[in-house]
Amino acid sequence: MHLTHRFTFTIAAVLLALGVAVMPASAQEAIFLVRHAERLDSSTDSPLSAEGQARAAHLAQMLGDARISVIITSEFVRTRDTARPLADRLKLPIQQIPAADVDGLLATLRAAGPRARVLVVSHGDRIPAVLAGLGQKEEVSLASGDYDNLWMILPGAGKIPMAIRLHY
């Protein structure tokens, strides 16, 4: 095992033993992280509004050539509907992980494989925890009306991954 990988593995093992859920995103080529698009209403499992459907279509257009190989959403309709246009375009299944299971999401990302390019559609109150779990130090907060954020996380071999915040 290469020294850098051994060092990274050792640090990761120590952090896991201490119960720290920090996982630099080194198992895949790229992670694209977005909040679900605009909701129709404030019900627990709201579908997307017309504006949200348009944003989901725009996301599919933007990421259509990004070679996404895995799509992950929560169990809520609004996250699945945000991912659906891209999933349909790429003929990919949508994997669901409960919104409250950030550790499960991070474990799934860890297991995605070195060539994976993953789209994660999550929630405004979960995105900061996901980013922190991927090794990002910068605190992030999203206002209730922030639906246009797109993070592109690019792993670095043995380094904290680069996170680029974009808007769409």
Pairing of β 149-156 and β 159-167: antiparallel
How many residues can be counted in the chain?
Answer: 168
- CATH 3.40.250.10 applies to domain 23-167: no
Tokens 């792993």 sit on residue: 155
- CB neighbour list of residue 18: distance below 8 Å, 6 or more residues apart: none
Q: Domain locations in the chain?
A: 23-167
**pLDDT per position as a tens digit, 59-110:** 999 999 999 999 999 999 999 999 999 999 999 999 999 999 999 999 999 8
Tell me the pLDDT of the chain averaged across its residues. Answer: 86
pTM of the entire predicted model:
0.83
CA torsion sign, 74 to 75 to 80 to 81?
Answer: negative
